[in-house]
Structure 1
């Protein structure tokens, strides 16, 4: 089943399930099962909603809803850099012995179909198609063999990057935290519904042209290792997000015309998780 966060008919943020092209409101403005997607994860509701629970909830055609980030208010967003060998090779960052980690702020996120805002202070706006996972229970010093039990679900992510700000110093945080540059969605799919992530393919397209394509099995540091490493230095809570890394083919290394311009449409499609689509707009 696909879950999503979106704007309710009364204009308030809510969450629910999307079934057969219809979005059912399970938040305070609807069935009131939990106030947010994060709360649904915390309370163990996410992944267990039944037809009996959602069928009587207020509903709207999926095409009519305004998507919000799949998890609108995560306590932490931990991003992993250069975590596919193809991206390591194109960027010259091979031979890693530990994951490259940076943080993204929750208020920089946006949803499916929302504009990706290109800052006026950059000439190097880029895409990074990735798969994100959401933590399902308290996680601290998690062993690799126990990592899968701590995942609530997965979604597509586009870590839009402001490369000149990112490259200005050794720390990447400024280039990764401009407003409306962290796209997350359209859906959050329960881990139990998805099966093995090794069977998933990630593809990023710009104006219909495939720029990135890789199997999630090609992660340099696999998901269990990432969870174990991250929880070795910070405690994760339900609703927290780990963005697992991007394959080779980012615009910076694509060649002439690889970077993004106003009006470009960027899609990140992952098997079973849907297609996340955003159009680049220039900052007002």
Structure 2
């Protein structure tokens, strides 16, 4: 099943997407749908207002997650090529909902930064309240997968040993367009992940190369805090980021960033330099 949050007059609506048609579920967004009782059955049975998918404008698939937990250093080949040992525990940081944009919205290049970089990622959306999950509960807690790009202000990220300030600039993080349930996309079996800048492939990986897969991340994070329906885990990015290149490369005004996960979807976003008064 494929779900999305679309923009409609006066707000947003959760929809089930079937081919060229999207049917409203009666919820304001996918996060609200996931918080409802028996959300899968509700979405499957939805018979609300319908839309042609060609006419849709997508909001972030979960516009305001309670938590956005991001993971660093999580692709095996990239870690090894950098000469590092595989981590014993996930490297975690967070992002605020204000950072999220829709799958085709413009990325804001903030006036404060001259080093905005790309990080193509698979996102996991939680569908069940879970605390200290065992392996079975962690796997069952995956509502589905989406596409995310953890666009990063490198000059702010490395101001201190803590990465957070470079990771959550407002209106920088594409997320969507769909949530695809695990019966249609299986991260463990391997999903192709690519990132492109103006049509040039700059990142390419397979999710089977994750050190900590989605279920392992849910198990780990749920030992720290209760995960709730609609929470998001960004699973990390492979090699190919601009900051690690020689010479270093960053997004420029007008460039198009495309982030794609096979079987899940694609975000295509134009970078636009922020204009500020004065």
Comparing 11-20 and 237-246, the one that deviates more: 11-20
* Residue 90 (structure 1) shift: 6.1
**Matched-pair contact (CA < 8 Å) for 1:125–1:161:** yes
CA contact (8 A) 2:76 2:86 kept: no
Is the contact between residue 184 and residue 263 of structure 2 (CA under 8 Å) also seen in structure 1? no
Deviation at 1:68, TM superposition (A): 0.5
1:41 is displaced (CA, Å) by 1.0
Runs of 4+ with >3 A deviation: 44-52, 89-95
* Structure 2 partner of 1:206: 197
CA RMSD of aligned residues (A): 1.9
* TM-score normalized with structure 1 length: 0.90
Matched, 1:100 2:91: yes
Change (3 A) 1:93 1:111: farther
Q: Distance in 2 between matches of 1:47 and 1:203?
A: 29
Provide the residue aligned with 1:5 in structure 2: 5
1:47 CA drift (Å): 3.4
1:109 maps to which of 93, 100, 124: 100
Deviation at 1:52, TM superposition (A): 5.9
- Superposed displacement of residue 123, structure 1: 1.4
Q: Among 28, 35, 58, which residue is 1:35 paired with?
A: 28
What is the Cα deviation at residue 45 of structure 1?
4.9
Normalising by structure 2, report the TM-score. 0.92
Q: Distance in 2 between matches of 1:196 and 1:267?
A: 20
Match of 2:231 among 218, 240, 245: 240
| Cα offsets for 1:118-169 (capped at 9, x unmatched) | 1111111011110111111111111234311111111011110000100110
> Cα distance, 1:50 vs. partner?
6.3
Residue 79 (structure 1) aligns with? 70
Matched residues, number: 275
Deviation per CA, 1:165-197, whole angstroms, max 9, x where unpaired? 001101111101111112110101112332453
In structure 1, how many angstroms separate the alpha carbons of the residues matched to 2:89 and 2:98? 28
User: What residue is the counterpart of 1:121 in the other structure?
Assistant: 112
- Look up the SS of the partner of 1:232 in the other structure: helix
Aligned to 2:147: 156
Stretch deviating more after TM superposition (249-258 or 159-168): 249-258
| Gap regions ≥5 residues in structure 2 | none
Structure 2 CA distance for partners of 1:89 and 1:282, relative to 1, 3 Å: farther
Partner of 2:169, secondary structure, is coil
Q: CA deviation at 1:222?
A: 2.1
**Aligned residue for 2:24?**
25
Deviation at 1:217, TM superposition (A): 0.5
Structure 1 segments unaligned to the other structure (5+ residues):
27-31
Moved more, 82-91 or 128-137: 82-91
Task: Decide whether the 8 Å contact of 1:85 with 1:94 is kept in 2.
Answer: no
